Amino acid sequence: MDIQIWHIQFDQNGPDIPVIAAGSLLEVELKKEKQNAPVGRVEFLFLGPMTFKEFLLASKKEELIPFTEKPKNSIPYSIHQKLVDLVKDYYFVGGMPEAVKAYITGNNDYSAAQVVQGNIIESYRQDVRKYATGKLNSVILEVLDRVAFEVGNKVKYQNLSPAKSTYVRQAIDTLSDIFVIQKVTHTDSAGIPLKRGENSEVFKLYLLDVGIYSCLMGIEWKDIVALDQKELLNKGETAEQFIAQHLYLDSYKSIRPQLHYWLRDKSKSKAEVDFVSVQDSKVTPIEVKAGTSGQIKSLLTFMGEKKELTDTAIRYDLAHREAFSERVVAKYGNDKKIEQASFQLINRPLYTI
């Protein structure tokens, strides 16, 4: 997409404010052309795919939105089930506006949305060919084709491309610069700010949109129809992708968001918490479960080790509960050393993200 520059005048006496709007490769073009802007005269605003709430609005299901906004009382089971079904739809339609439009105007036709998603992905491939040459060109395309299969995993360059790691790292950085993928970086979570304890060499990746993720995975509409709800939703990577893009979008302002997670990669005591954020001035771990249940061993380990920093954790899943908060007192560890964790666990349905 071509770069377009508009000058918008807020009032007759005010100055002209240059606003730059473009497609996925704007950041790369600005970097390549070494564009200079007068300090304080350019405002950066980041846009992302439609959120689940916006998807509900577009689907004319706005009466369900109040139930997605951190409800304090139990949600009626019938409402919960409707929202779960709509989360399923969003998993495969995603939030790219043109894909949502095709889905809705096609009378809830997922295949119509997938055609749009395929076109978007092909446009990324074509754009890559415009500005990346030689080996980097092919490596970016390899990473783009493989990244969906590595969503939520600690990145190992050889899983994304057989090329040299320097090329793979450059390809990842480029796709991240243009917002096609999102980095989530490991932090030791030893305090605030989380960035102080991050290790930039340890990270995992998510795509900008769960619909694009599903399309890159090669999931067809006929495959979706053939699966029952339990099989369809018990896909941990899809749930993590759903949560990751919303956490990312929630941070979209004028500064590029940064997401973190916690990983202990030791052979005898492996543990991982999907995301770590700062809420109410506390380090807060976030665990994501695809279905209605699941173990929280890693969360217990984190809360036991970080008990001086925080006493609250969040779990997103698809369970229908009467209460949204519970006190967890549980033991963790191995035969050599058993510890106990005690904390408040906030349970939230995935659709409340």
Three-class SS of residue 311?
coil
Q: Which value, to the nearest 10 degrees, does the dihedral of the CA atoms of residues 292, 295, 299, 303 take?
A: 110
Instruction: Tell me the Ramachandran region of residue 240: left when phi exceeds 0, alpha when psi lies from -120 to 50, beta otherwise.
Output: alpha
9 has pLDDT over 50? no
Contact 330, 300 (CB under 8 A): yes
How does residue 47 score in pLDDT terms, banded at 50, 70 and 90? confident
Strands 312-317 and 338-349: parallel
pTM: 0.85
Tell me the mean pLDDT in the region 61-74: 89
Pull the structure tokens for residue 182. 């999102």
Check residues 37 and 79 and name the one with the higher pLDDT.
Answer: 79
Tell me the mean pLDDT in the region 228-247: 77
Q: Is the peptide bond before 193 cis (omega within 30 degrees of 0)?
A: yes
Check residues 41 and 57 and name the one with the higher pLDDT.
Answer: 57
pLDDT at 169: 96
Tell me the mean pLDDT in the region 31-57: 76
How does residue 50 score in pLDDT terms, banded at 50, 70 and 90? very high
* Rounded-to-integer distance, Cα 11 and Cα 174, Å: 38
212 has pLDDT over 70? yes
* Rounded-to-integer distance, Cα 262 and Cα 268, Å: 17
Tell me the mean pLDDT in the region 262-279: 88
* Rounded-to-integer distance, Cα 345 and Cα 325, Å: 6
Pull the structure tokens for residue 28. 């790369």
How does residue 74 score in pLDDT terms, banded at 50, 70 and 90? confident
335 has pLDDT over 50? yes
How does residue 168 score in pLDDT terms, banded at 50, 70 and 90? very high
Three-class SS of residue 40?
coil
* Rounded-to-integer distance, Cα 289 and Cα 315, Å: 7
2 has pLDDT over 50? no
pLDDT at 343: 94
pLDDT at 292: 60
Residue 330: partners with Cβ closer than 8 Å, 6 or more residues away = 300, 340, 341
Q: What percent of the chain has pLDDT over 90?
A: 56
Query: Mean pLDDT score of the chain, rounded to an integer?
Result: 84
CB burial of 40-56 (b: ≥16 within 10 Å; e: otherwise) equals eeeeeeeebbbbbbebb
Q: What share of the chain is helix, strand, coil (3-state, %, to 5)?
A: 45, 20, 35
How does residue 138 score in pLDDT terms, banded at 50, 70 and 90? very high
Pull the structure tokens for residue 307. 């008990």
Burial tier of 303 (Cβ tally within 10 Å: 0-12, 13-18, 19+): buried
pLDDT digit string, tens, across residues 179-209: 899 999 999 999 999 999 999 999 999 999 9
pLDDT at 245: 94
Pull the structure tokens for residue 137. 């060109």
Least confident of 28-37, 103-112, 247-256: 28-37
Tell me the mean pLDDT in the region 151-155: 95
Residue among 321, 347, 152, 179 nearest 239 (CA): 152
Q: Where are the domains of the chain?
A: 1-44, 56-183+199-242, 260-352
* Rounded-to-integer distance, Cα 188 and Cα 194, Å: 8
20 has pLDDT over 50? no
* Rounded-to-integer distance, Cα 112 and Cα 308, Å: 51
Tell me the mean pLDDT in the region 310-323: 90
pLDDT at 82: 95
Contact 338, 331 (CB under 8 A): yes
**CB atoms near residue 149 (< 10 Å):** 14
